[in-house]
Each structure stands twice: as C-alpha cells, then as structure tokens.
Amino acid sequence: MRYEAPETIDAAVALLGSVGRARPLAGGTDLLVQLRAGIVEPDLIVDLKKLPGLRTIAKEKGGFRIGAAVTGAELREHPDLRKVWPGVVEAANLIGSTQIQGRASLGGNLCNASPAADSVPALIAAGATVTIIGPGGQRELAVEAVASGPGKTILAKGEFVTSIFLPARPPRSADAYLRFIPRTEMDIAVVGCGVSLTLDQSGTCTAARVALGAVAERALLVAEAGAALIGSKLDAAAFEKLIAAARKACRPIDDKRGTKVFRIDIAGVLAQRTATIAAERARGQK
Amino acid sequence: MNDIPLAGTAPKAELKWVGTRGPRPDGLDKVTGRARYGADFRLPGMLVGRVLRSPHAHARIRGIDISKAAALPGVKAIVTRDDFRDMPSEFVPAGEMMVNYRDIVRNVMAREKALYEGHPVAAVAATSASIAREALSLIKVDYEVLPHVIDAAEAMRADAPLLDETMITAGVDPAPTKPSNVAKRMEFSTGDLKAGFAQADFVIERSFATKPVHQGYLEPHACLASVNEAGQAELWCTTQGHFVVRTHCAKLLDMEMSQIRVIATEIGGGFGGKTVVYLEPLALALSSKSKRPVKMVMTREEVFLSTGPTSGAHMKVKIGVRKDGKITAAEAELIYEAGAFQGSPVGPGCMCAFAPYEIENARVIGYDVISNRPKVAAYRAPGAPISEYAVECVIDELAQKLGLDPVEFRLKNGAKAGTRALYGPKFGPIGLVATLEAAKNHPHYSAPLGPNQGRGVASGFWFNIGGESCASLHINEDGSVTLMIGTPDIGGSRASMALMAAETLGIDVAHVRTLIADTDSIGYTFLTGGSRATFATGMATVDAAKAAIRQLCARAAKIWEISEDAVVWEDGHAKPAGQNAATFPPMSLAELAGKAGKTGGPISGHAEINAQGAGPSFGTHIVDVEVDKETGRVDIKRYTVIQDAGKAVHPGYVEGQFQGGAAQGVGWALNEEYVYGADGKLQNAGFLDYRMPVTSDLPMIDTVIVEIPNPAHPFGVRGVGETPIVPPMAAIANAISRAIGTRLCELPMSPPKVLKAMQAHKANGG
C-alpha cells in the first residue's frame, strides 16, 4: 500500500485515476477504521490535506466555501460560521469524540456515504453544494445528489470533492440539527434531522428545507416536509403536517441501531423539535 | 458522600489507618502510562500469536489443513485441536472451583464442532502480525454448517438443534432418555408453597427476560508466554487469578505446576470475566512448539465474540402477600443461558433470588441451558443480578398494589440476623434493614420529582466468599515493609492490604508497599473474585503482620535479655509488658529492623489460610429517571447507592465499587445487548454499537457506606465488589414504571421498547 500527499489538484487527480484501488484521505476517521477492519484494501492512499483550499474556510458571494478536509474543530472555532449556520456546525460537532473532532472532515463525512452521517442532513437542509474535481474537469452538485446508497457515491473514478459551499442567507434565517441516539455521546444517529428556514417580518415561514438521515439508504431531502412549513406561522397545524410528511418519507430498515417502526416514529418527533429550534433561532434575529 | 456510623457498631479500638482515604498506590503509574498491563510485556525474539476463529455459529469441523500456512516463511508454530489432549466430562476441583476440563479444552480450541461464531479453531505464531494474519487465511477448515440456536427458550424446544448430542439433563429423576440442550435442572424449596399462596390476599405473577451482557473491561485479554527447551514456562497475563491460570494450563498442557510460573500483570478491569483461560494455553502451546516467546492480544471484536458475557435469562416470578404486607409465598422459575458449554450461574441465581426476604414458603427452579453463543463467564455477583431483578420488580408492584411505600414493604419482610435463607444457612448480623433505614432517611428519597420523572428502589444480596489466601510480609532493614499477596488487585486491594498491615503493625501506611507476587513467590492463593480479596487476603495479611510482630517482640526480648512473654507490641513499638518485666525504653519497628542481622537474621511474617466466615453484603439503591414521552429515551437524573461494607478499609475505593456497579447496571438496564443476525453472527462486536454508558450518560452517583461489622474478620470486612451490580436493573425498571405508569418486564429497556410500552399503555386507556 502506497501513501501520497500531492500538493496540486492536478497531481491528486492523476494519482487517484492512476491506480485501480485508490482511496482519497482527508481526516481518515472512517478510512483508517475500514482499513483496520479489512473492509477496504487500497493499493494507494492519496492524502488531500496538502491541496490548496482543502483546509480553509473562505467567505464567498456572501456565503462560505469550506475546504473538504476542514475539521469539525475548525468549523466550531470559526468566528462567523457558527452564527450563520449553527445547525451545520452543531451537526459536524456531533461526530465522534473531541479527538475525532480534530480530524474528521465535512468532505469525508459526505463521501463516506453513511446514511447516518450527522453533517449530511444539515448540509442538505442548508442547500449546500459541493465542488467536485476529476479527470473530466470540475462540476458542482447539490449535497443530496452525492450519496447514492450506503457507502456509495456518484463520484466517478478519479473524482473527489474539493469544497462545500454554504450560500448567503436572507435575514431571519436559521438552521438546526438534531439526532436521536440512546446515549448522550459516542454513538451513531438512529435518526438525524436537519432543518433550515427563513421567516418574514410577520413571522411567516417563507422558505424551509427539511432533511432526514438514517431513515433510508442515504440522507433524504424531504420537500413535502419543507412545504408543510412554508406559508405558515409554524403553528401546531403546520407542525402536524411536517411530522406526517417526515414520517411518510422514511423507508428505513431494521438493524442493530434501531427498528423501522421506531425510526419512522422518531423522524416525526425530531422534525418538529429541529424545526422548533431553527424557528427560535430565526425569531431571535433582529 | 456520607459515612453513617451506626449506633452500637463502632469498632472497639480506635483505628488509625483502616478507614482512611490515602492516595491510591496504583494511581500514579496508571495515569502516567507506566503501569504495565497484559499487552505491555516484550521479550527478545518474541513471536506474534493469532487465533483463527469460526465464522459459523454452529458447524462440524470435518478437517483442518494447515499445510499451506505451515509452509509460509515466518510461521514458527501452528496449533489446532490435535495439540490438546481430550479430557473426560467430569467436574473436578481446580483450586476452589469445580470445573469440567472436557468443556474447557473445547472452549479454548474447538474439537468436533465450532459452537459459536468466534470459537477458536487454530492458532498461529509468526514473526510478524501480517505474516500471522496471512497464515490464518491459508488454513483451510472444512466445515459442515449446522442449524444454530441462540436464545435459551428456543434451545429448550424439542426440535432445537443439539449442541452436544450426548447431553442428558442432570438433576431430573428419572433421567431423560433423549439428549437436549438443558444441562441441568435444580430446585430449592422450603415450607408449603400451596398453603402459602392460599394465605395470600394478592398474588402477582410476571414473566421477565434479560439479555446477556458483557463485563466490558477496557483491557482486552493479553498474555506473553515463554517456554524453554526443558519445558519450563513463564507466562505474563492479565488475570484475576494467576494461580487458577496455572492450574488450568498445567492440566490442559500436561505440565507440572512447578514448571509454570505465572505473573499477573496490572489488570485493566475484570469484573469476573478474567477468571478463566482463553489465550494462555494457546500461547504456551505455541511457545512450546516454537521455543520462542509468543505474545497474544485479543482485539475488541474478539473479546465480544469469544469471551464472557453473563447469562441472558427467561424467568417467571410469583409472590403472594397478605393485606397487612406480609409475604406468604414466593415461587420462581429461572432459565439461564450458559452459552456453548454448561455452567451458567443459575445456581447462585436460584439461591439469591429471594435472599433479601424472610419467606416461609418458597420454591425456585432453575435450568442451565446451552446455545450457540460464547460460554458465559463470571460477572460481578454471577447470577444474582438477573433473578433479583425479576423478584425486585414484583416486590415493587406488590408494594404499589398494597399502597405501601416500597422501602416500608421491604422493611416488613426484610431478612435479618436469624433469618434462614432459602438456600440453607441462617444469617448472622446483616445489613439489609440498615440500608433500607438509611434509604428512607436519605434526602434523595424525599426530594421532589419533576415532570416525566419516576423514582425506583431495589435491594440486593450477594453471599461473598472466603477461601485460600497467603501473605508474606517482609520487614526491610530500614523499617519499611514489603507485603506480598497472591490476589491480583482489581479494585484497590493493594491499598486496603497496606492499610490493614499498617494498622496491625502500628506504623505509617506510607512505609508499606503491597506487591502481587507471582505463582512461584507465594503459596497458592485463590483468585480475586467473590468479593474475597479484602476479606480473605486481608485476614492473611493481618495474620502475617502478627507473625512478624511475634518475631519483633522476640528480638526485643533478646536485646533486653528478658523472656519473650514479657514483651508486648503497642503502637509500632516493642515494650516491656509492665513495670515488673523491665524498664527499657520502647523500641520501634525500624530500630528492631536495623538490628535484625545481629539478633537472628531477617524478620518476616507469613500466613497461609483458608478464610472462613465471609459476611454477605446487602445494598439498597435509589434512582430517579426521566422518560422522554415522545422517544422512550431514559435519562438517569439522580442515583444513590447504599450498601453494608462491614468495614470500609479504604472508603474511597469502596465508594468506587458502589459507583462502578451502578454505572454498569445502568448499561445493563437501558441499552446493552448482543444483536445477532438470522445467520447466528454477532452484529455489534464493539463499543460503538454495544452501548455501554459513557460518562455523560451518568449523574454523579452518590454513596452511603453502612458498616455492620462481620464478626469473622479482624476489622469487620465483608467485601463490597459484587453487591453493587445487583439492585440497579430493578431500581431503574421500578423508576421507569412509576414515570410512565406501565411496567416493562424485559431488559434492556431501550428507547424502542419504552416507547412501545407507552404507546400500548395509551392505547389501553392508560
């Protein structure tokens, strides 16, 4: 097994396309575990951390461009990001322990393509896009289009994610992320939910996106759940519709972490609780 | 933390060291990384040992072809079933235990069949980990996969796959003619059950189920074995009983005990799970073949697949009471899973089930059932937490039915000195009532509860044991003291031994250092388990200190040229026994030690004992939970452990034992379980998905040490390590039932189950 840490994007693309079993490495918090368990046996590991822009957070068009290898701890410590996108930051900060936070990245969490990845529903709700580079050049994609199933992405051979873009926000916008785990820490989401919404001056919801994790083969954008909130004052009737839409979208499995029935139940509960937090945050802005 | 000295129980003499909270002698090395655990030992030329494990839950092994692996450069030895002699099926003494070597030899290395996923099939020693791994992949095992059975209730069915085609249920008269997975039936009874239930105004009967749970020690099993050309072996291993390791290894490998020296390393948790052998005989066999040292360390996955846990169970409990709150009769049926080989702790489960109560008419029937999962190992108070969980839930429900406070109901029926236990003996002085009184008077018990919260109470009992222990106490030339014992320290026993030695000798504990001696350096000492170390090895320590004192007095007598009986030992000094004896100034231990060379040579004290008179320990736990009504998630808000320690030699460690038991009990109650697929394979062999509590899941656990001295021990010690795991499951179940208005009778009470119970209760108009 070979390890390379190229310093240019072109070199990284060339390396990843050159060998049959090549794997990109950001924080490595998933890859190293898979290596140790014998799940993957790559011939080449390409460390992306030395590539330009992969480890920086930059303001762009009123939004944020986050390098794919930026860690959870760096997201938390950024002076502005947390104020504008608290839900994305709190989601990323639920991944693993303090030690893991120093390594685990948004790009890795997305491309590992676990249906239970914590940051992904938050990014989907946020309307985030990713920049992908590869032998065929560069392309942009919505976050919800990246994973295609457990452990699978639409990335072609040699392609990798360089950055994630969080767009500019209108006033009175906020997001939130909640996950359900039986413990308080060190666990994998049984259900995860991200909500991002915008209110007008009267408190009416003008935009809303709701995403669910761990209830399908990949994280889902639930358009009907967002629609249930838009045009409402986020009252009980709207929440009832939200809960129903969230539950309807679930197509979970029974596994060691939870049952189908339980996941569907909890998806509704979390959608309401997450939307409530996002709404409180949006109302809190003057 | 409150220590409650109870009236009339204060020790007669003022104690200077016993009962103090000095620094932990093991603490510094543990927190700085110096402590050497099982995996920390290395020798020149050391090989890496790895185990090939069955991928099947149940399979006949038709053949094992090691030729390709043996030909791989770097492979120095391979062992399979052919390297171990078969043993007859009989229970024989091994130290103080009765064990069946037919089963032990099969558990360390599969013979006819692989009986669980992870069952060892071969082991390899190679010059590197990667070569060892490759060698395992080159071993070809010809399996005939057989139907498997995981759950004990299913294993009892007539059409269940048989693990052992020769197993005829013991304890049934006449003996069954057909084999089954039921290894044994047992029964304990007293009084007239029918008449007892006839007197009852209310009878409650419930069925319960619990899941196997792992001890969850942080340190995986690890050892380093070195056998030379003359067959002399050294073995470093993480264990609760290195003498027991020696016994088993000598038997399994046909070696003389004198040829095996076992050194107990620092231990990273055991909880009963490190009282058996897994890797040790394999490492010795590999080293014996290769004539090179062989180190073996399990991965966490291997720990889950092939070691521990304690039993899962199916139980029925029926208790009858009169309106005045007196229990008239009690009955239980307990089915315990043993794993792949017989020997679940259903016996102690039966004996403990009703032990906290005075019940005239009672019967407990137990079944020991095998199935395709790892053989169970001891886990703190083996068997007791399971049966007492079921009983304590019914006790709580009866209290509700009678409209009685659950502590009052227990006080009405609680065992006390003179109560005859269902399993035979009459209790001496015991502390159940004292713990219940302390619970009633604790501020926790009357604190207000918030919304969605409930408070639960449960009591627990464990026998505790004594047994064989040795101690050697050496007085060094400078007056410091080296104390050697044979019970590995899993819970602070080095500290308590030092305190008891210092107290007896009358010197500062800072001058006493306790070491765990290897099997060649001290006499046979049974393992650390049964909460026996501080009790039994503590007695040996006191005896050894007294033996040293006799020597010290004799040396003073020699110096003073008076008779030995004219010298007494007080406060760390030899003194003439009164005016008539002589008027010499007292001589300190250090002075006498400095002159030892001129007065007869080195001074040591030894004791080799079989400690009798272990005192049972009772505990009562109070817990507050908050239930999330929408998700079924349970939060532990407040927890208080009250337990009779007899005498807390080092109260800090005693409190640690109380807190640790409660913490493990929270996991057992709420989330811990093995998840098996339809293929009989374990799906959650790791700490990520085997959900033990993490620190943030627990409140600070409050403790109350009750001290009802055990008259058999010089300082009143009972032993405290096991009782704390007995009450938590019922206490938490009782708290949840009071929070949600309906009762769960199955562990773990994980969110999906709690949510379902609440939804069913609501649907039924609750």
Residue A245 lies in a domain: yes
Q: How confident is the model at residue B97 (pLDDT cuts 50, 70, 90)?
A: confident
**Could you tell me if residue A180 is inside a domain?**
no
Nearest to B752 among A187, A188, A259 (CB): A259
> Which residues 6+ apart lie within 8 Å of A56 measured at CB?
A67, A70
Q: What is d(CA A125, CA A221) in angstroms, rounded to the nearest whole number?
A: 7
B678 and A CB contact within 8 Å: no
Q: Do A256 and B697 touch (CB under 8 A)?
A: no
Question: What is the pLDDT at residue B3?
Answer: 42
For A262, the closest of B687, B697, B752 (CB atoms) is B752
pLDDT per residue over A244-275, tens digit each? 999 999 999 999 999 999 999 999 999 999 99
**Strand duo A160-166 + A129-134: pairing:** antiparallel
Please list every residue in chain B whose beta carbon sits closer than 8 Å to the beta carbon of residue A255.
Answer: 683
Peptide bond into B309 cis (omega under 30): yes
Distance, CA of B399 to CA of B395 (rounded, Å):
6
Q: Do A128 and A231 share a domain, yes or no? A: no
Q: Determine whether the interchain pair B633/A262 forms a contact, defined as Cβ–Cβ distance below 8 Å.
A: no
Q: Which residue in chain B has the smallest CA separation from A269?
A: B630
Cβ contacts below 8 Å, chain A against chain B, sum to: 47
Across the interface, whether the CB atoms of A256 and B684 are under 8 A apart is answered yes
pLDDT in tens, A160-175: 999 999 999 999 999 9
The nearest alpha carbon in chain A to B759 belongs to A265
Same domain, A192 and A162: no
Q: Give residue-wise pLDDT tens across range A53-85.
A: 999 999 999 999 999 999 999 999 999 999 999
- Residue in A closest to B301 by C-alpha: A37
Alpha-carbon distances of A61 from A57, A167, A168, A285, rounded to whole Å: 13, 8, 7, 21
pLDDT > 60? residue B276: yes
Question: CB count, 10 Å around CB of B709?
Answer: 22
For residue B630, which residues of chain A lie inside 8 Å, CB to CB?
269
Query: Which pLDDT belongs to residue A286?
Result: 52
Q: Are residues A112 and A250 in the same domain?
A: no
Chain B contact set for A261 (CB, 8 A): 752
Residue of A nearest to B666 (CA): A183
What is the span of the domain harbouring residue A112? 2-39+57-166
Question: Percent of chain B scored above 70 by pLDDT?
Answer: 98
The chain B residue lying nearest A259, using CA atoms, is B752
Q: What distance in Å separates the CA atoms of residue B490 and residue B62, rounded to the nearest whole number? A: 42
- The pLDDT-based confidence of B13 (bands split at 50, 70, 90) is low
Q: What pLDDT is attached to residue B12?
A: 52
Minimal Cα distance from B697: which residue of A?
A: A184
Assess contact for B180 and B162: CB atoms under 8 A: yes
**pLDDT at residue B10 above 50?**
no
Q: Do A195 and A151 share a structural domain?
A: no
- Give the nearest chain A residue to B688 (CA atoms): A187
Q: How far is B682 from chain A (nearest CA, A)?
A: 10
B751-763 helix and A260-283 helix, angle to the nearest 10 degrees: 90
Q: Mean pLDDT throughout A169-194?
A: 97
Q: How many CB atoms lie within 10 A of CB A273?
A: 19
Q: What is the pLDDT of residue B581?
A: 64
Mean local confidence (pLDDT), A215-235: 98
Note whether B326 and B408 are within 8 A (CB): no
Pairwise CA distance, residues B750 & B633, whole Å? 7
| Residues, chain A | 286
pLDDT at A36: 87
Q: Do A225 and A105 lie in a common domain?
A: no
Specify the amino acid at residue B32: T
Average pLDDT value for chain B: 96
Q: pLDDT tens, B113-126? A: 999 999 999 999 99
Whether residues A156 and A245 share a domain: the answer is no
Overall residue count recorded for chain B in this entry = 766
Look at the block and give the residue holding tokens 């873009």.
A165
* CB within 8 Å: A262 and B670: no
User: Is B580 part of the contact surface with chain A (CB cutoff 8 Å)?
Assistant: no
Nearest to A187 among B691, B750, B755 (CB): B691
Chain A residues touching B696 at Cβ < 8 A: 183-185
- pLDDT for residue B582 is more than 80: no
Is residue A52 assigned to a domain?
no
- Contact: A183, B693; criterion CB under 8 Å: yes
Confidence class for position B766, pLDDT limits 50, 70, 90? confident
Count how many domains chain A has: 2
Asked if A158 and A191 sit in the same domain, the reply is: no
How confident is the prediction for chain A on average, in pLDDT?
A: 96
Torsion of CA A266, A268, A274, A278, to 10 degrees: 180
pLDDT band at B1 (very low <50, low <70, confident <90, very high): very low
Question: Are the CB atoms for A235 and A207 separated by under 8 Å?
Answer: no
User: Is residue B417 within 8 Å of residue B430, measured between CB atoms?
Assistant: yes
Residue in B630, B632, B675 closest to A256 by CB: B675
Q: What is the distance in angstroms between the Cα of A132 and the nearest Cα belonging to chain B?
A: 32
Residue A62: which CATH number?
A: 3.30.465.10
Q: Is B670 on the interface with A (CB under 8 A)?
A: yes
Q: Which of B407, B335, B402, B347 is nearest to B371 (CA)?
A: B335
The DSSP annotation for A128-175 comes to -EEEEEETTEEEEEEGGGTEEETTEESPPTT-EEEEEEEPP--SSEEE
Q: Are residues A16 and A118 in the same domain?
A: yes
A66 is a domain residue: yes
Q: Is residue A207 part of a domain?
A: yes
**What was the pLDDT predicted at A49?**
97
What is the dihedral sign for C-alpha A49, A51, A54, A58?
Answer: positive
Q: Other CB atoms closer than 10 Å to residue A3's CB: what's the count?
A: 10
**Which pLDDT score, from 0 to 100, does residue B5 have?**
38
Mutation to test the A interface, candidates B133, B630, B673, most A Cβ within 10 Å: B630
In whole angstroms, what is the distance from residue B577 CA to residue B570 CA?
A: 10
Check A180 against B675: CB less than 8 A apart: no
A48 located within any domain? no
Q: Is residue A181 part of a domain?
A: no
B631 contacts in chain A (CB < 8 Å): 180, 265-266, 269
Chain A residue whose CA is closest to B682: A256
* Distance between A178 CA and the closest CA of chain B, angstroms: 13
Distance in Å, alpha carbon of B752 to nearest chain A alpha carbon: 6
Residues of A in contact with B683 (CB under 8 A): 255-256
Both tokens of residue B159? 């059409």
Question: Which chain B residue's Cα is nearest to A179?
Answer: B631
d(CA B572, CA B508): 9
d(CA B313, CA B390) in angstroms, rounded, equals 10
B751 touches chain A (CB under 8 A): yes
Q: Give the pLDDT of residue B90.
A: 87
Question: Do the Cβ atoms of A182 and B696 come within 8 Å?
Answer: no
Q: Is residue A136 scored above 80 in pLDDT? A: yes
d(CA A100, CA B213): 28
What pLDDT is recorded for position B206?
98
Instruction: Provide the pairing of β-strand B361-370 with B327-339.
Output: parallel
What CATH number corresponds to the domain at position A193? 3.30.390.50
**Local confidence band at B358 (pLDDT 50, 70, 90 cut-offs):** very high
Edge-first strand listing for the sheet containing B453-462:
B2-4, B701-706, B634-644, B617-627, B453-462
Of A180, A183, A185, the CB nearest to B631: A180
Is the CB of B755 less than 8 angstroms away from the CB of A262?
yes
Cβ contact A227:A246 at 8 Å: no
Task: Identify the domain boundary among A134, A166, A198.
Answer: A166
- What are the structural domains of chain B? 467-611 (3.30.365.10)
The answer to whether the Cβ–Cβ distance between B684 and A269 falls below 8 Å is no
Does B688 contact A186 at a Cβ distance shorter than 8 Å?
yes
pLDDT of residue B7: 37
Residue B688 contacts by C-beta under 8 Å, 6 or more apart in sequence? A186, A187, A188
| pLDDT at residue B506 is higher than 50 | yes
Burial A41-55, CB ≥16 within 10 A → b, else e: ebebbbbbbebebbb
Please tell me whether residues A149 and A204 are part of one structural domain. no
| Residue A81 contacts residue A61 (beta carbons within 8 Å) | no
Same domain, A123 and A254: no
What is the DSSP secondary-structure string of B50-98? EEEE-SSSSEEEEEEE-HHHHHSTTEEEEE-GGGS----S-EEEETTEE
- Domain-embedded: residue A177: no
Per-residue pLDDT reduced to its tens digit, B675-691: 999 999 999 999 999 99
* Structure token digits, residue B373: 């999962």
Average pLDDT over residues B215-225: 98
Residue A281 parent element (H or E): helix A260-283
Residues of A in contact with B675 (CB under 8 A): 256
Residues of chain A in contact with residue B53, where contact means CB-CB under 8 angstroms, are none
What's the pLDDT at B282? 98
pLDDT surpasses 60 at B376 = yes
Contact A265 B755 (CB under 8 A): yes
Asked if residue A214 and residue A89 are part of one domain, the reply reads no
- Mark yes or no for CB contact A269/B697 under 8 Å: no
Q: Are B613 and B458 spatial neighbours (Cβ–Cβ below 8 Å)? A: no
Kindly list the residues from chain A whose CB atom is less than 8 angstroms away from the CB atom of residue B751: 180, 182, 190, 262
- Residue of A193, A253, A262, A273 to mutate when probing chain B, most B C-beta within 10 A: A262
The pLDDT value recorded for residue B583 is 84
Domain limit, last residue, from A133, A166, A199: A166
Residue in chain B nearest A272 by alpha carbon? B630
Distance from CA of A283 to the nearest CA of B (A): 25
Q: Which residues contact B598 (CB under 8 A, 6 or more apart)?
A: none
| One-character DSSP codes across B598-646 | HHTS-EEEEEEEEE-----EEEEEEEEEEE-TTT--EEEEEEEEEEE-S
For chain A, strand residue ranges (E) read 2-4, 22-25, 44-47, 57-60, 63-67, 129-134, 137-142, 147-149, 152-153, 160-166, 173-180, 191-199, 205-213, 220-221
On whether both A64 and A156 belong to a single domain, the answer is yes
Give the CA dihedral B432, B498, B474, B542, nearest 10 degrees: -20
